[in-house]
Amino acid sequence: MRLYKKEGNTLQILSFPNDNIEKGDYLIIEDSRVNKKLITQVIDVQFANVPGLLEELLRDSTTEDCVYGEDFDPLKVSSHINHIQDAWMLLCKIRGTLENEKPSVNVSWLPSRSKSGIERFSITSLLAQIDNGRNLPIHIGETKEKSPFTINAHDLDGTLNIVTGKKGTGKSHLSKLLVLGLIDYGATVIVLDLNGEYTNLGFSQNGEKNVYHDKVHVLTPGANLKVSLAQLDLRVMLNILVHALHLPGASTREFRRIWQFLNQRRASTLRELGEAIKSWKCNQHVRDALFSRYNSLLNSGFFTDIATEAVTFEEFFGETRKGGALILNLQDVSSVDRQIVVEYTLGKLVELLGQWKIRAVFLFAEEAHLYLRETYWDDIVTRMRHFGVFTTFVTNQPDTIRENIYRQADNIFLLNFTNERDLETVSRAARVDSETVKSIAHDLPHHHCLVLGKTVKDFPMVVKVRAYDVQTMGQTRLFFTSRDYARAEPQLR
Amino acid sequence: MEDESFQPNESGFKQYATSHQQNFEGATPILRTHDLLTIKSIPIKPLFCDTPVAAVDVSSIKIGETETGLLCAIRGAIVWKHDSRYSYLRFGPFPFHITEENKKEIYNLFKHHSFEISEDANAPNLANVPIRMGSLLERWLQLGISCSAHDSVILWDGSLTAGTADSPLNVVSQLLEISRNRLNTILAFSKTTNLRLLGHKLTDLGEKSWPPCLLQINGFPPQSGPVFSLGNVYVAKLTQGICSFRLDIDKEISLERGIEAVQKLLGNDLLIQSYPETLRLAHTFSTFTATEVIGIQHLIAQQYGLRIIARPNIRRLLFGPFGKGSEG
């Protein structure tokens, strides 16, 4: 391999197919005269623009179909010519420098083009150099060299993360790995589980309970997740009414009075609330509006007046004190009810964190745009983060996540995307250049992930996500099964 | 050649291609003409009979320099059309390392194998060796096709002038004779010519002619100093278009047979811009591209452990941006 050109942060390196270089591989360019090594990453493999190649191809293509013959080439020169024709140009991004075997981001120098040696830099060696994953390792998968790839749980602490990739590439699989990894180190995780994919995290593939069984608590709104109005703060209730149920301003003001009235009488129950709205002296339109919202609350099944049915998040957090996950099962929950539950949960979380009743929470939000209201996006990256809510967004529609989330994301776990628009959206992430995202993510194989950000010390790495013994629920239900094919085969004949 | 270092010429591939490939492919030796030339237009029409058409072309190229000599490569191609189908046989590339010490040996070995000339010939100047070796390979291939073909049209790249170092009189005469004996007709197409008629380039005469036709040029002296013209000279304007070519047809065959051969060519080969496809393919198959030059350099470096050393361009060093042209 030879260094050919540098333009900005991009290097072009001449290579041949037998070097066996792939996108995502790291190369090290050593200039022994200055005792420095440049760390670069291959973001694209192209054919080298060899002079005369076009003539060669034209000659071959115009004659191959109509002219037949043979070559007398006793010295086998043609194999050498083919070797040259197949030359590659590796487009590489400069990632840093190794100086005295210590990595640094100083890339203000340029190695010699004629004297430098270039060789592959294994991810394993790079990980060893950046001292990754030694403290609280979460085993994510394996590198190209088949060595284990771990990230440090510390690097997920206090961070904003995104797991994204197109449908069926293994986003939820990776998210579950992160969830279980965090639980292992005693973290509290809340999963807003839109499709009920995380509900069986406590079971092995054979259906038996696994080591996480006692740490995974599935909360299904209306079933084992019901709350009483007395537990609710007025602010949380107003958020539900305004943002989830779109209560107009005038009606909100009346509701505030009703709520304060009930509170003074210590009668914060659903029944009392209904009676109060019915008898409250107010405009009929306001009463109607309040009553329709009251019915929505009632029909959600999320609120109860029965003390034994009502649960508190304090209790749940108590159970996860030594590490555990609360899976909020939002499957089969209507969109309005989903928003009510999420409003309540997030409001309660902030309340508990504000009171230091819990230390911090890792929140995994699947397809958050379906239940998260507009103002929460900013809240999550600013205010809630300071309270100790460290969010990981999981989505297959990257454009549903706001641009500022990408800009402020500390870690991105990027699985395959082929759509240019999706790649364009993800490439707005501040932790990496857009070319890297667009080029590498476009060709990521199944279950491979490009890890960007703090967890890899800003050295983007391609990882094959490992399998684990947990019952998967995220698989799409299919109509045709392999048995159907077997049955149909004789008829096809 | 082992453990020696060589240096590819800094002037680049294109310059090699023009300076070395063109030297013997396109240009024709100069015949001194006088003013008594006459011109006769002969309209022709395609003769659709099943006649094989074969063409020969060879390329040579300088690959680089070593401390003791130079590296070159030659390659030849024979293309023939028979039963509406083009076929080819390509020989090479053959790389050579030629030094002052071995040039005579290599040159004579080539000559000996080509035409069984036993006496030692004077080897050319080192710089001209690639062209001469290319010529020898070309003559060898022409001999091969003349001996194996029968009642065919054989196309050469160049003219039928003889008496130069590249085209010895006895060799060209021998080739023509063998062809005649096997009822083959040799048609030699020259892309460029120095021959002029009334101050005009010979090939420009075809511009106003209605194709397909031949313009027969009469009155050329058969000999001009050491150079002999072994063919009758024509301007061939065989299709519509801006191109016409100098065409030499063996003098020893009758005018009618020569013209019939051109008509058979029209009836059996594809012609674009008056140039036969068979000959174009032979050129295409033999000519070197830049990639191939690099590939051959790779072979030489790998097989013989040669290290490429860049020799400074003296002209560039002395004259900077004004140091144009080849070194020397």
Residue of A nearest to B293 (CA): A81
Mark whether A234 and A360 lie in a shared domain: no
Give the domain extent around A90: 2-130
Whether the per-residue pLDDT at B79 is higher than 90: the answer is: yes
Q: Is residue A85 part of a domain?
A: yes
Chain B residues lying within 8 Å of A68, measured CB to CB: 85-88
Verify that A283 and A426 share a domain, yes or no: no
Of A151-155, A411-415, B301-305, which range is least confident?
B301-305
Nearest chain A Cα to B289, which residue?
Answer: A52
Pair A72, B91: CB distance under 8 Å: yes
Between the alpha carbon of residue B56 and those of residues A392, A470, A479, B163, B307, the distances in Å are 72, 72, 66, 20, 35
More confident residue, A97 or B26: A97
Q: Are residues A144 and A120 in the same domain?
A: no
State yes or no: pLDDT of A264 exceeds 80: yes
Partner residue opposite B87 with nearest CB, options A56, A69, A78 = A69
Task: Give me the pLDDT at residue B35, please.
Answer: 56
The residues with which A338 forms a beta bridge, in sequence order, are: none
Average pLDDT of A199-210?
87
B38-B40-B46 Cα angle (round to 5): 150
Q: Residue B56 has what pLDDT?
A: 95
Distance, in Å, from the CA atom of B185 to the CA atom of B298, rounded to the nearest integer, reads: 41
Residues recorded for chain B? 328
| pLDDT tens column, B281-300 | 999 999 998 888 888 888 88
pLDDT digits (tens, 9 = 90+) for A85-101: 889 999 999 998 988 87
pLDDT (0 to 100) of residue A29: 94
Instruction: For an interface test with A, give the residue of B292, B300, B307 to mutate (most A CBs within 10 A).
Output: B292
Using CB atoms, pick whichever of B87, B285, B292 lies closest to residue A68. B87
Residue A207: CA count within 13 A, CB half-sphere: 0
**CB-based contact B3:B66 (threshold 8 Å):** no
Residue A485's pLDDT is 56
- Is A30 a residue whose pLDDT tops 70? yes
Q: Residue B298's closest chain A neighbor by CA?
A: A80
CB of A163 closer than 8 Å to CB of A392 = yes
Give the model's pLDDT for residue A376: 73
Shared-domain flag, residues A210 and A351: yes
Torsion-angle region of A332 (φ positive above 0: left; ψ -120 to 50: alpha; else: beta): left
What DSSP letter does each residue of A298-354 carry, written as one string? HHHS-B-S-TTT---HHHHHHHTTTSEEEEEE-TT--HHHHHHHHHHHHHHHHHHHH
**How many structural domains are present in chain A?**
3
3-state secondary structure of B197: strand
Residues of A within 8 A of B21 (CB-CB) are none
Give the phi and the psi of residue B157 in degrees, each rounded to 5: -95, 115
Q: Which residues in chain A touch residue B292, judged by CB atoms under 8 angstroms apart?
A: 52, 56, 77, 81
Q: Is the pLDDT of residue B1 over 50?
A: no
Confidence of residue B114 (pLDDT cuts 50, 70, 90): low
Looking at the domain assignment, is residue A479 inside a domain?
no
Going by pLDDT thresholds of 50, 70 and 90, the confidence category of residue B15 is: very low
**Once rounded to an integer, what is the mean pLDDT over residues A125-147?**
83
A485, part of any domain: no
Same domain flag for A196 and A341: yes
The pLDDT tens digits for A354-369 are: 888 888 999 999 888 7
Domain co-membership, A442 together with A345: yes
Locate B22 and state its tokens: 């063109």
Could you tell me if residue A159 is inside a domain?
Answer: yes
A68, A71, A81 ranked by CB distance to B85: nearest: A68
Residue of B nearest to A74 (CA): B92
The 3-state DSSP composition of chain B as helix, strand, coil percent (nearest 5) reads 35, 30, 35
Query: Mean pLDDT across the stretch B49-64?
Result: 92
Count the alpha carbons within 13 Å of B203 in the hemisphere toward its beta carbon.
19
Taking 70 as the threshold, does the pLDDT of residue B14 lie above it?
no
What's the mean pLDDT when you consider all of chain B? 80
Averaged pLDDT for residues B175-194: 90
Give the DSSP letter of residue B18: I
A306 within domain boundaries? no
Q: What is the pLDDT of residue A59?
A: 76
Beta carbons of B293 and A77 less than 8 Å apart: no
Q: Which residue in the set B94, B285, B291 is minimally distant from A52, CB to CB?
A: B291
Alpha carbons B56 and B76: distance in angstroms, whole number: 7
Cα separation, B195 vs A44, whole angstroms: 56
User: Under a CB-based contact definition with an 8 Å cutoff, are residues A451 and A465 in contact?
Assistant: no
Instruction: Check residue A440 and give left, alpha or beta (phi > 0: left; psi -120 to 50: alpha).
Output: alpha
Position A472 in a domain: no
pLDDT of residue A161: 92
- State yes or no: pLDDT of B158 exceeds 50: yes
Same domain, residue pair A446 and A395: yes
Subunit contact B88:A59, Cβ cutoff 8 A: no
The pLDDT > 70 percentage for chain A reads 95
Cβ atoms of A388 and A361 within 8 Å: the answer is yes
- Segment B84-111 shows an average pLDDT of 85
Distance, CA of A239 to CA of A252 (rounded, Å): 10
Whether residues A235 and A212 fall in one domain: no
Q: Are B279 and B243 in contact (CB under 8 A)?
A: no
User: How does the average pLDDT of chain A come out, rounded?
Assistant: 86
Kindly determine whether residue B13 and residue A51, on different chains, have CB atoms separated by under 8 Å: yes
Cβ contact A70–B285 (<8 Å) = no
| Residue A459 and residue A416 share a domain | yes
Which chain B residue lies closest to A50 (C-alpha atoms)? Answer: B291
Interchain pair A70, B89: CB under 8 A: yes
Whether A282 and A269 share a structural domain: yes
Task: State the DSSP H helix or E strand holding residue A493, giving kind and residue range, or none if neither.
Answer: none
Quick one: pLDDT band at residue A492, thresholds 50, 70, 90?
very low
How far is B130 from chain A, CA to nearest CA, in Å?
18
CA distance A64 to chain B (A): 11
For residues A38-49, give the mean pLDDT.
92
> Could you tell me if A68 and A184 lie in one domain?
no
Q: What is the CATH number of the domain that holds A343?
A: 3.40.50.300
pLDDT at B27: 45
Q: What would the mean pLDDT of B304-318 be, rounded to a whole number?
A: 72
Asked if B92 lies within 8 A of A51 by C-beta distance, the reply is: no
| Closest residue by Cα to residue A320 from A187, A220, A157 | A187
The per-residue pLDDT for A441 is 87
Q: Where are the alpha helices (DSSP H) in chain B?
A: 13-16, 22-25, 103-115, 129-148, 169-181, 255-268, 277-286, 290-304, 314-319
Q: What integer pLDDT is reported at residue B328 of this predicted model?
A: 44
Q: Which of A310, A320, A311 lies closest to A358 in space, CA to CA?
A: A320
The mean pLDDT value for A314-328 works out to 86
Measured in angstroms, the CA of A75 and the nearest CA of chain B are apart by 8
The pLDDT value given to residue A295 = 92
Q: B113 pLDDT band (50/70/90 cuts)?
A: low
pLDDT band, very low/low/confident/very high, at A468 (cuts 50, 70, 90): confident
Mean pLDDT on A99-124: 86
State whether ipTM is beyond 0.90. no
Per-residue pLDDT at B261:
93
pLDDT reported for residue B209:
79
Is the pLDDT higher at B32 or at B138? B138
Give me the pLDDT at residue B13, please: 34
What is the reported pLDDT for B182? 93
List A306's β-bridge partners, or say none.
Answer: none
Predicted confidence band of residue B4 (pLDDT cuts 50, 70, 90): very low
Question: In this structure, are A111 and A31 located in the same domain?
Answer: yes
Which pLDDT value is given to residue A25?
Answer: 92
**pLDDT value of residue B41:** 86
